[in-house]
Structure 1
Amino acid sequence: MTELVLPRAGLAGMLRSEWTKLRTVRSTMWSLVAMAGIAIGLMSLFAWALMQQWSTADDGSHSYFTQHPLEIVIARPVFIAQLVIAVLGVMVISAEYTTGMIRSTLQAQPRRLTVLTAKILVFASLMLVVGEVLAFAAFFLGRAIIAEHIPVSLGDPGVARSVAGAGLFMAVLGLFSLAFGAIIRHTAGAITGVLGLILIVSPLTALLPGSWGAHINAWMPTNAGQLIFEPTLSPDALLTQWQGLAVFGGWTVLLLAVAAYLFKTRDA
């Protein structure tokens, strides 16, 4: 009697599996819709309110926003969106530990690094597409609102790179958060860690004294990454825009390497 030998599931099969899990979980789609709606909605409200008060605003405000139009149409939407991205990135993997589904996943595919690689590739692809769509949608909508008083175009120096870079920043942030989820494996703990780093620790490093404090602040993951959507930098900036994104990417690769080691060696 011939024994039936089933083919081993490979990366292609895991990619399909992870994409199915990601798109069929309603919280994922609703999170993305909420991220886009809230980020663009609040940006539009702020831009509209600013234009309504433009005639009564002081010269300092006129000068600042005229010189930094992307502060309105890119920086603010990304600031809001990053909170949702961080939560979503953590939950991509931590939710499986919470529900116990990770055991079923690893029974179906014992090669753990294949499982983690599939999660990383699928989520990175999703966040890259969503990030770029959100960044360009925010730019064009915001530009239409502020055009009467603050002209800005993709053809302006550094603007196209800044808008595209905002989408890249969101994709890297998603992987950064996924790594936190894989390392900590507890949803609340990982979300607290990521948001604490983004919203509390990174800004507080600006208070550190001396040149060493300036270097620590510049090399913090999200501080460095956010340089990518700045059209121009001051002459004394420690990193260029692409160097900043590379630093953020380096932190993310390091965390993913730690996550891969722990994912392979720890019990599910």
Structure 2
Amino acid sequence: MTAAFDHAPARPPAGAPARFRHLIAAEWIKLRSLRSTSWVLGAGALAVIGINVNSAASNADRLARQQLPAEPPPGVQARPELLFDPLHTAFVDPAWQLLMVIAATVGGITVFGEYTSGLIRTTFTAVPDRQAVIAAKVTVVSAVMLALGTLVSGVSFGVTQVLLREYGGLSLGDPGALRAVIAAALLAPLCALVGMAVGAVVRHAAGSVVAVIALLLLVPALFQGERYRWVREIGNAMPLSAWERLVMNPERARGLGAYPLTVTDAWIVYGAWATAATAIAVLVVRRRDV
């Protein structure tokens, strides 16, 4: 009996600090255990893809009817040809704005959900290193949202372009196509990080959702004028404006008006918002009491 215990593996001491992989596993369990999260992400992905596919199918039907050799009645002017951008069909604004709201909300829940339920006290008691906890949340949420964004972006682009293959459908090798797919895929984790930052600051479910929607969707709409440069620059610095520029067909990028946003500037906006959102979440959680 004594020999058996002599060869037993040594257990770590009870007070040993949790390693980062343990924190990642814990955050993954928290996120996965919420059934509502899976339903929201799944339904949201299907909704975004459905809107884009419906747009492609509608455009294909209109283009097919346009090609029919029908002569207009006497005295009736022929209908103008349909101005059509196959790349835009895969990235319809309402669909991706919906994804932005969903991603930001889920990101915010991972932070304010623990505050509203009181679980955050248990978390910080078990792991006093708050910075490591937030870093684990950021890692898990970013990975999940990147997978979601990649799936939605890839499927939306692939299916819509197949439907439009007879009407100028694109491939990833066409100018601007790969950039648009990557930018759309990164939009989900970017908005999730913004949602986490807002959730850390507001710490209230309804307030966080309203604040993040206003920040991501309403502010860009308010700063679109071209009369004053500072107004346009603020609008250009928003994630929605950067996404719209990155998914734009290069052939349609002419005549953007005064103070246009360049592709390089748009990528910088992506990086700046992700970095700032992560820093705000870490700083606020470290400094404020639970």
Whether the TM-score (by the shorter chain) exceeds 0.5 is: yes
* Corresponding residue for residue 234 of structure 1: 254
Q: Distance in 2 between matches of 1:35 and 1:255?
A: 23
- Distance 1:44-1:225 versus aligned 2 partners, 3 A rule: closer
- Take 2:165 and 2:97, find their aligned partners in 1: how far apart are those partners? 22
Separation in 2, partners of 1:149, 1:222: 28
2:199 matches 1:177: no
Alpha-carbon deviations, 1:140-159, whole Å to 9, x = none?
11112222323211111111
Q: What is the Cα deviation at residue 198 of structure 1?
A: 2.3
Instruction: Give the Cα separation in 2 of the matches to 1:81 and 1:220.
Output: 16
Contact 2:196–2:277 (Cα < 8 Å) also in 1: no
What is the CA-CA distance between 1:21 and the residue it aligns to? 1.0
Q: Residue 53 of structure 1: SS of its match in structure 2?
A: helix
TM superposition shift of 1:224? 2.2
Q: Note the aligned Cα RMSD (angstroms).
A: 2.1
Whole-Å separation in 1 of the counterparts to 2:271 and 2:240: 10
Report the equivalent of 1:59: 80
* 1:225/1:246 contact within 8 Å kept: no
Alignment length (residue pairs): 261
Percent identical: 30
Residue equivalent to 2:33 = 24
Equivalents in 1 of 2:150, 2:139: separation in Å? 17
**Equivalent-residue separation in structure 2 for 1:157 and 1:120 (angstroms):** 33
1:267 aligns with 2:276: no
- Confirm or deny that 1:91 pairs with 2:113: no
What is residue 4 of structure 2 aligned with on the other side? none
Give the secondary structure class of the aligned counterpart of 2:268: helix
CA contact (8 A) 2:246 2:266 kept: yes
1:72 equivalenced with 2:79 (yes/no): no
Tell me the equivalent position of 2:47: 38
Question: 2: distance between equivalents of 1:151 and 1:225?
Answer: 21
SS at match of 1:148: helix
Please list the CA deviations of residues 219-252 of structure 1 after superposition, one character each: whole Å capped at 9, or x if unmatched.
2233124322224233766332242132132133
Contact 2:220/2:238, CA 8 A, preserved across alignment: yes
* Structure with greater helix share of residues: 1
Query: Which has more radius of gyration?
Result: 2
102 and 226 in structure 1: CA distance in 2 versus 1, 3 angstrom threshold: farther
For structure 2, the residue ranges without an aligned partner over 5 or more in a row are 1-12, 68-78
How far has the Cα of 1:95 moved from its partner? 1.0
- Contact 2:184 2:243 survives alignment (8 Å): no
DSSP 3-state at the match of 2:174: coil
Which moved further from structure 2: 50-59 or 165-174?
Answer: 50-59
Amino acid across the alignment from 1:100: G
Following the alignment from structure 2 to structure 1, what is the Cα–Cα distance between the partners of residues 106 and 279?
A: 20
Which runs of structure 2 are paired with 1:131-170 in the superposition (5 Å)?
131-170=149-188
| 1:86-144 per-position Cα deviation (integer Å, ceiling 9, x unaligned) | 21111121111111111111111111001000000110111111111110011111112
Question: 1:94, 1:186 within 8 Å by CA — same for their partners in 2?
Answer: yes
**Change in 2 beyond 3 A, CA 1:266/1:249:** same
Please state whether the residue corresponding to 1:106 is helix, strand or coil. Answer: helix
Contact 2:193–2:277 (Cα < 8 Å) also in 1: no
**Contact 2:44–2:102, Cα closer than 8 Å, also in 1:** yes
Give the match's secondary structure for 1:214.
Answer: helix
Q: How many angstroms does 1:75 deviate by?
A: 3.5
- Contact 2:216/2:238, CA 8 A, preserved across alignment: no
- Matched to 1:194, the amino acid is V
Q: Is the 8 A contact 1:128 1:167 kept in 2?
A: yes
Partner SS state of residue 99, structure 2: helix
Q: TM-score scaled to structure 2, two decimals?
A: 0.83
Q: Secondary structure of 2:16's partner?
A: coil
Verify the 8 A CA contact 1:9 1:109 in the aligned structure 2.
yes
Structure-1 separation of matches of 2:143 and 2:261: 27
Q: 1:11 is matched with which residue?
A: 20
Equivalent residue of 2:91, what SS? helix
Q: Which residue of 2 aligns with 1:107?
A: 125
